[in-house]
């Protein structure tokens, strides 16, 4: 267990050691720790060794200056200067929130960015402003084929949405458009477990359940052609519209540390006050949430959750008890600190 503060300091120290300016290192460290606090364990400090490897290999710019290159009253477009994805997307989120305050709704896209952690991180930024956040991203590796196809032309392009409530936790959805995210396949492989049918198929169309063969397979989209359609649309909104990579242009950032990824994301902020009374809105969300939570259950079901309930509970727990660092990750982080000459985690 480490505290959020310890983890923040560690991550910032590692980034500074590889040439990231102190302010940027602090910004990214804070966002990565937020990912760990909400239980997005595959998108927090877990990614640090990979990000650093990419910086050291020359594939990511440690001194990037993300810039707003296009803007109108309710839109912006950020060029991430091939820096850490968190810097570009958090600038985009701040831009969307600030413009939505006057325009009512605003949208900001990103190009020349990189992997930026869990989708919900940015949608959530709208919450303290009594705004709704909606986020789309092009995933950082293609594991999905068009419906009926066998070529990996699409990523698991996620959507996140964060909607403020009153006394209830905010409603926060964060989902890939595939039945299982690729990270879950990797976990199955590490554990030596089979995947359930429905996660992947092979190039003959047969169910693929052996996670060690995942490179031969295709992730399945949710709802068949519907999930394919969502992945395509989200990719067009987050990638193509911004001049970012989409389709064959997407670089597999797990396999390739040097090619610029030109990752694209998009964030929208909706100012609830533009539509009506904020307290009334929150009371309606509370009422709906309670209605759903208290509704009748299928046999064997203990509780009915809303999207965001589990990350909310994890955050409350981890803010008190600290963030667990599994021993293999701990060893990786110690090695990383040694390699770059940074302070190790306490």
- List, edge to edge, every strand of the sheet that includes 75-79: 67-72, 75-79, 105-113, 263-271, 131-137, 159-163, 171-175
Q: How many C-beta neighbours within 10 Å does residue 315 have?
A: 18
Query: Burial of 88 by CB count in 10 Å (0-12 exposed, 13-18 middle, 19+ buried)?
Result: buried
Which parts of 109-128 interact with its own copies (CB under 8 A)?
A: 109
Whole-number minimum distance, CB 127 to its own copies, in Å?
13
Site string for its own copies, 203-242 (x = CB under 8 A): xxx----------------xx-xxx-xx-xx--xx--xxx
Whole-number minimum distance, CB 158 to its own copies, in Å?
10
Whole-number minimum distance, CB 209 to its own copies, in Å?
18
Residue in the structure block whose two tokens are 């960015």 = 113
Which parts of 287-316 interact with its own copies (CB under 8 A)?
A: 287-288, 291-292, 295-301, 303-307
Instruction: Output the CA torsion 144→149→150→156 (10° steps).
Output: 0
Whole-number minimum distance, CB 108 to its own copies, in Å?
9
Q: Which is nearer to its own copies, 204 or 328 (CB)?
A: 204
Which parts of 48-107 interact with its own copies (CB under 8 A)?
A: 70-75, 77, 99-100, 102-107
Whole-number minimum distance, CB 212 to its own copies, in Å?
22
Whole-number minimum distance, CB 34 to its own copies, in Å?
21
Q: Which is nearer to its own copies, 140 or 156 (CB)?
A: 156
Q: How many C-beta neighbours within 10 Å does residue 149 have?
A: 13
Question: Nearest Cα to 38, choosing from 94, 115, 121, 116?
Answer: 121
Q: Which is nearer to its own copies, 72 or 338 (CB)?
A: 72
Whole-number minimum distance, CB 178 to its own copies, in Å?
8
Q: How many C-beta neighbours within 10 Å does residue 190 have?
A: 10
Q: Which is nearer to its own copies, 33 or 237 (CB)?
A: 237
Q: How far apart are CA 238 and CA 230, in angstroms?
A: 12
Site string for its own copies, 132-151 (x = CB under 8 A): x-x----------xxxxxxx
Q: Which is nearer to its own copies, 70 or 190 (CB)?
A: 70
From the list 15, 182, 199, 281, which residue makes contact with its own copies (rule: CB under 8 A)?
281
Which parts of 321-340 interact with its own copies (CB under 8 A)?
A: none
Whole-number minimum distance, CB 53 to its own copies, in Å?
30
Q: What is the DSSP string of 30-51?
A: HHHHHHHHTT-GGGSGGGHHHH
Joined together, the tokens standing for residue 109 give 């896209």
Which parts of 168-197 interact with its own copies (CB under 8 A)?
A: 171, 173, 175, 179
Instruction: Output the CA torsion 297→301→303→305 (10° steps).
Output: -90
- List, edge to edge, every strand of the sheet that includes 142-144: 154-155, 142-144, 218-219, 200-201, 207-208
Q: Which is nearer to its own copies, 232 or 345 (CB)?
A: 232
């Amino acid at each position: 267990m480490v505290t959020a503060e310890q983890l923040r300091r560690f991550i910032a120290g590692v980034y500074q050691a590889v040439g990231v300016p102190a302010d940027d290192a602090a910004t990214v460290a804070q966002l990565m720790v937020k990912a760990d606090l909400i239980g997005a364990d595959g998108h927090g400090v877990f990614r640090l060794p990979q990000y650093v490897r990419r910086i050291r290999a020359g594939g990511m710019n440690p001194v990037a200056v993300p810039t707003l290159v296009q803007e109108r009253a309710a839109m912006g477009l950020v060029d991430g200067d091939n820096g850490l994805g968190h810097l570009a997307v958090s600038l985009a989120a701040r831009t969307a929130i600030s413009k939505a305050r006057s325009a009512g709704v605003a949208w900001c896209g990103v190009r020349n960015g990189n992997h930026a952690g869990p989708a919900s991180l940015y949608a959530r930024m709208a919450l303290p402003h009594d705004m709704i956040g909606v986020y789309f991203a092009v995933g950082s590796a293609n594991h999905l084929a068009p419906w009926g196809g066998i070529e990996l032309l699409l990523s698991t392009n996620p959507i996140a949405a964060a909607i403020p409530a009153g006394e209830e936790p905010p409603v926060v959805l964060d989902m890939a458009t595939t039945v299982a995210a690729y990270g879950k396949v990797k976990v199955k492989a590490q554990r030596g477990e089979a995947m359930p049918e429905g996660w992947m198929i092979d190039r003959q169309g047969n169910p693929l359940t052996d996670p060690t063969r995942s490179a031969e397979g295709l992730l399945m989209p949710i709802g068949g052609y519907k999930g394919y359609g969502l992945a395509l649309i989200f990719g067009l909104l987050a990638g193509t519209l911004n001049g970012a990579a989409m389709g064959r242009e997407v670089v597999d950032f797990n396999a390739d540390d040097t090619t610029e990824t030109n990752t694209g994301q998009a964030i929208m902020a909706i100012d609830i006050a533009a539509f009506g009374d904020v307290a009334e809105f929150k009371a309606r969300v509370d009422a709906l949430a309670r209605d759903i939570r208290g509704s009748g259950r299928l046999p064997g079901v203990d509780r009915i959750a809303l999207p965001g309930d589990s990350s909310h509970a994890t955050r409350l727990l981890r803010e008190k008890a600290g963030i667990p660092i599994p021993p293999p990750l701990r060893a990786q982080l110690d090695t990383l600190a040694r390699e770059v000459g940074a302070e190790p985690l306490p």
